[in-house]
Amino acid sequence: MSTERGRIQISGFDTDGIEDQDSLDAWSESEADELESRWRKIVSSIVRDRLALGGFAVVAVMSLAALLSQPISVGGFTIQPFSIVPYDPTQTGVGARYAAPSLSHPMGTDRLGRDLFSRVVTGGRYSISIGLIVTALAATFGVIYGSISGYFGGRVDEVLMRILDVVFAFPGLVLALILVALFGGGFWPLVGAFALVGWATYARIIRGEILKVKQNEYVMAAKALGARDRSVIFRHVIPNAIAPVIVQATLSIGTVVIGVAALGFLGLGFDPGTPEWGTILDAESDTLATGAGGTWDWWATVFPGLMIFLFVMSMNIIGDAVNDALDAQVDDIGGGG
Amino acid sequence: MSLQKFILKRILASVPVLFGVSVVTFALMHITPGDIVDQLVAANPNVPSHEAARLRREFGLDQPVWVQYLDWMQGVLTGDFGEVYSSSRDVSAVVLARLPETIALGLFGWVFAILIAIPGGIYAAVNKDQLGDTVSRFVALSGISIPNFWLGLMLMAVFAVQLDWFPTLDPQTSLLSPSMLWWLILPGVTIGTAAAANMMRIMRTSMAEELNKEYVTAARAKGLPERTVILKHVLRNSLISVTTVAAFLTASIVAGSVVVETVFGWPGLGRELIDAVHLREINLILAITLFTGFFIVLANLLADIVYALLDPRIRDEY
C-alpha cells in the first residue's frame, strides 16, 4: 500500500481514514452521475466543433459507401445485398483504357479499362475494416497488459515493461512488413500483423495513467474493503484511466489505414488487381513516367491516394476533437475539485 | 543522481532490450514454416533424404534451438550475417554499402523537419487561436495524414516529370558531391514531412504551455523585448519536450525510408529490405531487421541522455 503522500494510512483498518470520507453509497452514485455527464459533455463539445462534425461525416459516408459498394456474402449467405457502385470493380474493359474522368466514369478508368470510381469506393473496405478490427484488438490487449503492469508494479512491471521496450525497438511498419513477408498476405494476416505491432502503445499509455489513478483514495478504499484485484482494476482503475486510450484509438485507425495501404503499395498484403487503395496505386504508379510535357493520366494515381488522405485526415480531425474534449473535462475536474 | 551515473544506468538498461531484439529477430526466422533445407528440397525434389539430413547437420539445424541461437549470435557479434543466396555476396558488405545512402536521406529528412517545425511551431504558439495558427494547424494535420508513398508519387509526377526540375533516374553521382542535393530534395522532403508535422504540433503545444508560465510574465514585466522572451527563454524550455519525441520521430523516419526509397528508387537499406522480401533472402531480411532494432534502441538511449542533460530533474526519476 503506497502511503508516500501520507494522506491515508491503511494499516490494520485505520477508522480515522474512513470516517473522513463520504459514505460509499453516496460516493458511487455521484461518481456514476459524473461519469455520465462527462460523456455527455464530450459528445456535446464534439458536436459544437464544426470541423470535427465534418470529419465525422466524411468517415461515415466513406465507410458506408465501402460497405454498400458490393454485396458481401459469408459462407454462401448474402448478408449485404446492396451494390451501389456503377460497375463491378474487378470487371475489365467497362471503358476505354485510361479514359479521362467523365460523367459515366467520374474518376476515369485504369490501364485495363476498369472503372476507377467503383474501385476506389470499394477499396475503402480493406483499409477501413482492418483499421477498426486492429484497433479493437490492439487496444483490448494493450489495456489489459498495461493495467496489469501498472497496477501490480514492482517486479511484474519491470519485466512487462522490458518486453514492451523490445516491441518499441522495431518501427511499426517495418515489423508489420516482416511479419507479412514471412507469414504471407491477405486480410487476416494483415490484421494479425498490425495488431501485434499496435498493442504496445496502448499498454504504455494506460500504464502511465494507472500509476496516476492508483494514488487516488477510492482505489485504496476499494482495496481496503476487500475488493479483489480484478474488480478493482476493471471497475475502478480502468474507467478512470481510459481517456487517453480513446484518443490514441481514434488516431491509430488512421495510422493502420495508411500502414495497410503502404504494404499494398509495396506489393505485399494483397493480390495484384485487388481494389485496395495501396494496391491500386502500386499498379498505376508507372503512369507517372510519361516524360516532360507528356500527357499524364493523373486520375489513376491522384484519386486512390486522395481517398486515403481524406479518410485519415478526417479520422485525425476527430481524434484531435476528442482529445480537446477530454482535456477540457480534465481541466473542469481540476477546477471544481 | 550524477549525470555519469544516470548514463551508466541507462546503458545497462538497454542491454536486456538489445538481447530481446536479437531473440525476437531470431525467433521470427524460426517460427516460419520450413527451414532453408526444406526450401532447397522444394526447389530440387531429386535431393535424397540422407543428403537433406547431411545438409541439416552442416548448417547446424539438427542442434537444439538455443545452440543455434548462440551460433547465430556469435556470427552476428563478429559481423558475419551469412551470405546473400542469389549473389553470394556477404550480407554485411551489402548492408554497409547501402547504409550511407539511408543515413544521408534520413539526415536530410531530419534537417528539413527541424527547419519547418521549429519556426512553424513558434509562429503558431505566439499567434494561438488566430487565423495563422488555424492555418498552420490544418497544414500540420495534413502533414501527418498524407500517406508518404502518395506524397512521393505526387511530388515526383509534378516536380520531376512534368516540370523537369529534378532528376528522375537513380542517383548518378557520389553521395558527398554537392550535386547530390538535386537527387536528395524530393525524397528528403517526402520522408521529413510527417516528422515535421508531428514536431510542429508538439512544438506548438509545449510552447503555448510555457507562454502561460510565471517566468514569462516576470521576464515581460522587467521589460525584456518580446523577441528575447520568446527566443531566449520560452524556446529553450519548449525544445526539451521535442527531445522526448526525437527517438519516436527517428523511428518514423526509419519506417518511412522503406516506403520512400522504393518510390524514388533510392539505393538505401529500405529498398534493399523490400527487394530482399520479394526474393525471400532471409539472411538479408534478418540483418536489416536486427540492425534497425539496434539503431532505434541507440536512438532512444541518446534521446534520454540529451533529455537528462537539458533537464536535470529527469535523472532522479529513472
Q: Which of A59, A158, A183, A288 to mutate to test the interface with B (most CBs of B within 10 A)?
A: A288
A34-72+79-326 CATH fold: MetI-like fold (1.10.3720)
Q: Are A42 and A328 in contact (CB under 8 A)?
A: no
Beta-sheet pairing, A72-74 with A77-80: antiparallel
pLDDT in tens, A173-208: 888 998 888 888 888 989 999 999 899 989 988 888
Between residues A287 and A205, which one has the greater pLDDT?
A205
Degrees, nearest 5: CA angle A182-A185-A191:
100
The torsion angle over the Cα atoms of residues A121, A124, A129 and A135, rounded to 10 degrees, is -150
pTM confidence score: 0.82
pLDDT at B175 over 50: yes
Q: Write out residues 206-235 of B within 8 Å (CB-CB) of A.
A: none
Highest mean pLDDT among B103-117, B164-178, B222-236: B103-117
- The answer to whether A162 contacts chain B (CB < 8 Å) is yes
Q: Write out residues 286-305 of A within 8 Å (CB-CB) of B.
A: 288-294, 296, 298, 301-302, 304-305
The span from the CA of A277 to the CA of A104, in Å, is 21
Of A173, A281, A292, the CB nearest to B161: A292
Q: How many helices (H) and strands (E) does chain B have?
A: 15, 0
**What pLDDT, on the 0 to 100 scale, is given for residue A34?**
61
Q: Exposed, middle or buried: residue B260 (CB in 10 Å: 0-12, 13-18, 19+)?
A: buried
**What pLDDT, on the 0 to 100 scale, is given for residue A329?**
45
Between residues B169 and A315, which one has the greater pLDDT?
A315
CATH assignment of B103-315? 1.10.3720.10
Q: How confident is the model at residue A36 (pLDDT cuts 50, 70, 90)?
A: low
Which triple of cell numbers denotes residue A216?
Answer: 487516488
Find chain A residues with C-beta within 8 A of B157's C-beta. 288, 296, 298, 301
**What pLDDT, on the 0 to 100 scale, is given for residue B37?**
66
Q: Exposed, middle or buried: residue A322 (CB in 10 Å: 0-12, 13-18, 19+)?
A: buried
**What pLDDT, on the 0 to 100 scale, is given for residue B146?**
93
pLDDT at A330 over 70: no
Find chain B residues with C-beta within 8 A of A266's C-beta. 258-259, 262, 274
Residues of chain B above pLDDT 70, percent: 89
Highest mean pLDDT among A38-42, B36-40, B302-306, B307-311: B302-306
Q: Work out the number of other CB atoms within 10 angstroms of the CB of residue B247.
A: 21
pLDDT at A141 over 90: yes
- Look at residue B77 and give its three-state secondary structure: helix
**What pLDDT, on the 0 to 100 scale, is given for residue A14?**
47
> CA nearest A251: which of A199, A294, A303, A312?
A312
**What pLDDT, on the 0 to 100 scale, is given for residue B169?**
66
Between residues A97 and A131, which one has the greater pLDDT?
A131
Backbone dihedral angles phi then psi of residue A80, each to the nearest 5 degrees: -145, 100
Provide the shortest C-alpha distance from residue A194 to chain B (in Å).
14
Q: Are B306 and B240 in contact (CB under 8 A)?
A: no
Q: How confident is the model at residue B111 (pLDDT cuts 50, 70, 90)?
A: very high
Find chain B residues with C-beta within 8 A of A178's C-beta. 28, 277, 285, 289
Output the 3-class SS for A24-41: HHHHHHHHHHHHHHHHHH
Which triple of cell numbers denotes residue B188?
Answer: 528528403
Q: How confident is the model at residue A336 (pLDDT cuts 50, 70, 90)?
A: very low
- The answer to whether A262 contacts chain B (CB < 8 Å) is yes
Give one DSSP letter per residue of B9-75, joined into a string: HHHHHHHHHHHHHHHHHHHHHHHSSS-HHHHHHHH-TT--HHHHHHHHHHHTTTS-HHHHHHHHHHH
A-to-B residue pairs, Cβ atoms closer than 8 angstroms: 131
Of A179, A181, A285, the CB nearest to B153: A285
Of B16, B32, B157, the CB nearest to A296: B157
Q: Give the chain B residue whose CA is nearest to the CA of A158.
A: B13
Q: How confident is the model at residue A312 (pLDDT cuts 50, 70, 90)?
A: very high
pLDDT in tens, B9-19: 888 888 888 88
Q: Where are the domains of chain B?
A: 103-315
Provide the shortest C-alpha distance from residue B4 to chain A (in Å).
22
Q: How confident is the model at residue B60 (pLDDT cuts 50, 70, 90)?
A: low
Q: How far is CA B42 from the centre of its chain?
A: 37
Q: Where are the domains of chain A?
A: 34-72+79-326
ipTM above 0.90, yes or no: no
Of B150, B254, B277, the CB nearest to A309: B150
B153–A178 CB contact, under 8 Å: no
pLDDT in tens, B241-298: 788 788 888 888 988 899 999 888 888 899 899 988 888 777 888 889 888 988 899 8
